Amino acid sequence: MSSDPLTDEQFWTDIWNLQYHKVRHLRWAYVANRQLAKLFKRGLASFTRPKLIEIGCADSLWLPFLAQNYELEGYGIDFSEIGCQLSKRNLAIKGVEATIVCQDFFDFAQTHPVEFDFVYSMGLIEHFTDATGILREMYRILKPAGKMLTIIPNLRGVYTPIAKIASPKLLAKHKVIRPVDLSCNLQAVGFDVLEVGYTGGALKLSVVDYSPWISTIGKFGHEVLCKLVNLIDIVVANALSAICIPNQQLTSPYVYAICEKRD
């Protein structure tokens, strides 16, 4: 492995244990979700029944969405057992099927080269000291002319001071990656970059994790805080979208890239 992970399986097991009692849903009231859905639509436009995989699929809401709305052969992989259980639960709730593999992705990539038409991740490569290592393995499993969508949190602009207060330990597990850095990393491993930039609307405060505050304000206080944050995300982000505030570095929640494996 050419890059060291900033997290381990136990770190994610602790995260998903906190999530286990909650059932999440994709809410289309969020500008961010609507924009992410459009990215998938553009990325998948050239395929007929693609073989698709989500890398780091724990508690995925997007794999059920894609299985429900596209004709495809779906897979997800994660090394957290409880995270995989949550993924299977989300698929069952929507009444759709996909294969969930509980395995370290680096091991999986060695035995599944040139197998998938479309690969995506929703917050993965920022958890490595050098993104090119994980990107190289994602490149490995793609077929020629296959495409990849990579989405990572934009922990710059307004989100840096918020994250430093809300979850400094988790922030330390992230590497800040700008669109220009992401593009360079993708090109370095052989991808052609089709799109790169910021996405998710003009605001999404919930991109920051507030769970460490439970120990300070209690479970009820934390739930109130999260509801307030979500309300702000819906009301303010939709208002900013209505007046055509563009995606940008200061307040947009995600960095993304759509790229293609050279044929």
What pLDDT digit, counting tens, does each position of 82-108 carry?
A: 999 999 999 999 999 999 999 999 999
Starting at the earlier edge strand, list the strands of the sheet with 142-153. 99-102, 73-78, 51-55, 116-122, 142-153, 254-261, 191-199
The alpha carbon of 207 is separated from its chain's Cα centroid by a whole number of angstroms, namely 11
Secondary structure in 3-state letters for the chain: CCCCECCCHHHHHHHHHHHCCCCCCCCCCCHHHHHHHHHHHHHHCCCCCCEEEEECCCCCCHHHHHHHHCCCEEEEEECCHHHHHHHHHHHHHHCCCCEEEECCHHHHHHHCCCCEEEEEEECCHHHECCHHHHHHHHHHHEEEEEEEEEEEECCCCCHHHHHHHHCHHHHCCCCCCCHHHHHHHHHHCCEEEEEEEEECCCCCHHHCCCHHHHHHHHHHHHHHHHHHHHHHHHHHHHHHHHCCCCCCCCCCCEEEEEEEECC
**pLDDT over threshold 60, residue 212:** yes
The pLDDT value recorded for residue 1 is 42
The pLDDT value recorded for residue 169 is 79
Reported as a pLDDT band with limits 50, 70 and 90, residue 25 is confident
| Mean pLDDT value across the chain | 91
Selected residue with higher pLDDT from 138 and 174: 138
* Correct CATH for 9-261 of 3.30.360.10, 3.40.50.150, 3.40.50.720, 3.90.1150.10: 3.40.50.150
Distance spanning both ends of the chain, measured CA to CA: 25
Reported as a pLDDT band with limits 50, 70 and 90, residue 242 is very high
For the chain, give every domain's residue range: 9-261
Reported as a pLDDT band with limits 50, 70 and 90, residue 6 is low
Reported as a pLDDT band with limits 50, 70 and 90, residue 14 is low
Longest CA–CA separation in the chain, Å: 54
pTM for the predicted model, two decimal places: 0.92
Positive/negative CA dihedral, 153, 159, 161, 167: negative
Quick one: which of 7, 113, 155, 124 has its CA closest to 55? 124
